[in-house]
Structure 1
């Protein structure tokens, strides 16, 4: 079958996919052309084409280790590490717990409660945490009533990284369980029966049957997470930056905005954003290649 025949055969599917394709082109791929300002001394009043070339000069903020950039990079890596170690495994545990529930009614109720925070915007999520953990929040009101003093969480720079990790955990962990529950449903139940006949208990079944059944999905999601590892959520952190200060909360996403859009330092900020994207791409390719070496499919085939 020729390419033209395949296009004619799948014309309805292509027509349905057209809005998504156009959205990707207009809002994701065409803006990539703007990365050229990383190599220019960009002046908005004269435009991209007329701005003078400066070569690799804008990348010196990375090479020379600018203290503000280093601080943003350090905060980004620490938050990413916390989210990979804490947030990433959480949906797996939740899926295993939900899958072990015998009552389908209770399971559906728990799933609905866990999924709900995903549909809330970060503005609402941050506001909820402020109302709960702020100086005048519910927790501190309760502690004052008991004469136990107060705790400073929302505006405490030392607790900021733990706070944003907890917010991501509360908001998205329940939603991510959908994928793992679907993977658990595909595991052949006869494997559990055979392992039980061989004398395997629940823990050995978990280790030798359940986790191997989830391995491909875990590796796939981990590869995608590595590609997004230097993006820690602009909106969530920007909304709370005023309360804790930039030293504790500045990450690469907010660095690009604060120094590029607000301070007008377009070139170096674009250079940082460009390097962030390239590093994410290299991490995805490297992790996918490593997955192939271990016999896994990864996110694409060679």
Structure 2
């Protein structure tokens, strides 16, 4: 049992790496299923290349966009960026947009593009493309209809060599010219696998450089960086638990008020401005590990003597 808890603690501490590994395995498995079951090369001069490219690009693009859609950090960055700042809501309605609206939008977009979110979102698409290149099936079909393949495999051959080359992906198991077909397809598959390993190498080197730059330019020490990670995890867990508790209390109060006509003490729920303050994404510093930490550091004194039953 003790070993189980150690394993669970290890998985918890390295949940990010474990999650990325599982996502990569699922993406690789999905690509294998697609290439073996769904993909059927048309063996046509018009459709070989676009059909194969669609299996390279479209699933990768879908995975990339899904990663953005499902990312909570993206939601925190872009929520309210395009909204009008109502300011005083006592009755006067402003017909002009907030002057700082465009600047807030540009800051949100800048953070969205330059943050680590993009790197995380690119993991699944890159995995898909790399596995597809290592398999070689898509590349065989795409390359068989290109001028490069005709120049390299049809020099000095019969006039209809190009048409025959396009049919090769559909004739893998054909007894006619089996050796010639297999030899040509092996060359195409080898080229595809070479591109796949080059892509993997470039991505690994890029990730290594990004991490090196991140640590080299870090304003905090290594141990403090680890502490910030622990704090972020604990803050999220406690905030989720407390939000659930307060939401339950508020729901119970309102339901009892409706069914039993019984008035209970108000449950203090932060206002929209306070939620907005703790929802922003900030760079951790010595004085503010997160937006919630910054809020708790600067707000208690001015709110300490306010009546919590303001709702």
**Normalization by structure 2: what TM-score?**
0.33
Higher relative contact order (CA 8 A, sep 6+): 1
Larger helix proportion of the pair: 1
**Normalization by structure 1: what TM-score?**
0.34
**Higher radius of gyration, 1 or 2:** 2
